Amino acid sequence: MSAPMNMLRTSRRLSKFSSLLQNFKEEKNVLSIPTRCLSLQEYQSKKLMADNGVAVQKFVVCSSTDEAKSAARNLKVDEYVIKAQILAGGRGKGVFSNGFKGGVHLTKNPSDVENLVSSMLGQKLKTKQTTGEGVKVSKVMVAEALDIARETYFAIVLDRSHAGPVIIGSKHGGMDIEETAATDPDSIIKEPVDIVSSVTEQQCLSVAEKLGFQGSNLQTAADQIRRLYDLFVSVDATQVEINPFGETPDGRVVCFDAKINFDDNASFRQKEVFAMDDMAETDPREVEASRLKLNYIALEGSIGCLVNGAGLAMATMDIIKLHGGEPANFLDVGGGVSEQQVHDAFFLLMGDKHVKTILVNIFGGIVNCATVATGIIKASKKLHLDLPLVVRLEGNNVEEAKKILAESGLKILVADGFNEAARLSVESASKASL
């Protein structure tokens, strides 16, 4: 497999996997755990680019039919493209809950805009990438429809092997870049960038030339590449992908579509960017976990896991799978777990209708196991825990912790080892499901 192909796949995993877990692959009895990363709607990415001087189509966002009517009147374009805004691909072939087909429509008639927007707003759009009944559409983008004379692919990704950003491009845009890399690997451009000194003017011109831009558009494309790199750095992105990055028949260089991924660790200095996430399409369990400041990813199994440390959490889920069970979540409460964190984790797990058993698996390196045991007792009593509870503790002050659990009077299955804890939790969940 080519190096550019590897970089693209690694970059795309960054939007789905945490940095600690991205090297795991889904195999039999082994889980890869997706993390909740910031995902922006198409119009939000376009606004970020426009605010940074990147050329995009003119657009207006509508959340009501009155706004759609205003957009049709004020947006002076030859043709409109109306696009439902949800975090899923395949919108053009999607179907709405009212039977209306297509989340993307073109029209040259301003009077059609209001009706098209009205047919989408408030309806659930189901595509090949959505689940259940689809996703409710609360916003619709009305934008300038542009013809594309020529399409290229452009991206900036973080690459570990180069310890910094790498520009990736291809003359073949508007299609799956992985397919391009497989069928025509020589067409893939790779240009590492010095993270300290930044991208140079010569690099921008070289990439633009290799992408096939000519004449006055060569400098225009190079300027756009520079602006895209500046955007990449300024918002702490892990990926900026423009597909297609192209030219119109009248000679404009335009970023027609974009996907931007962000470093969640930079949220403290990217408050405006992260504030764009209204979490409307985020699992409610993950929203609640975020409020409680827990590292939590919702799954669909029946065994709620409370673990300290990402590695131990992964191993816990793997061994549950090995015994024939299914974890309900990834939940890492951190190395210094407190009584309050135990309470909050129990509160979260008990609110998940999928959970039939709770498994607590704690290694007391930094944390005192007795503190965890006390937290378990207090949380169980305060929250009136009625689910089977399996506890495995090991490490710092473990004997005192076991004594606290034994004298609590609660029905707690205390496991002597990792394997027994998983077995007991799977058995408990199976009985509870009968």
Q: Which residues are known to be catalytic?
A: 153, 241
E strand or H helix that includes residue 207: helix 201-210
Token pair for 144: 């300038």
CA dist 23 and 26 (Å) reads: 10
Q: How far is CA 243 from the centre of its chain?
A: 19
Give the integer Cα–Cα distance in Å for 222 and 253.
10
What kind and span of H or E run contains 243? strand 237-247
> Given its phi and psi angles, is residue 67 left (phi above 0), alpha (psi -120 to 50 degrees) or beta?
alpha
Buried b (16+ CB within 10 A) or exposed e, 129-141: ebeeebbebbbbb
CA-CA distance, 379 to 385, in Å (whole number)? Answer: 8
**Angstrom distance (rounded) from CA 434 to CA 431:** 5
Report which of 400, 396, 393, 383 is spatially closest to residue 414, judged by C-alpha positions.
393
Place of tokens 């890492």: 332
Q: What are phi and psi of 335, to 5 degrees?
A: -70, -30
- Interatomic CA distance for residues 394 and 361, integer angstroms: 8
Sign of the dihedral through C-alpha 207, 209, 212, 218: positive
Q: What DSSP assignment string belongs to 133-185?
A: T-EE---EEEEE----SEEEEEEEEEEGGGTEEEEEEES--SS-HHHHHHH-G
3-class secondary structure, 411: coil
Number of H helices, E strands in the chain: 14, 19
CA angle 242, 246, 249 (to 5 degrees): 155
DSSP string of 2-15, one letter each residue: -HHHHHHHHHHHHT
| Residue 309 vs residues 332, 361, 363: alpha-carbon distances, Å | 5, 10, 9
> 398-406 vs 369-382: helix axis angle to the nearest 10?
20
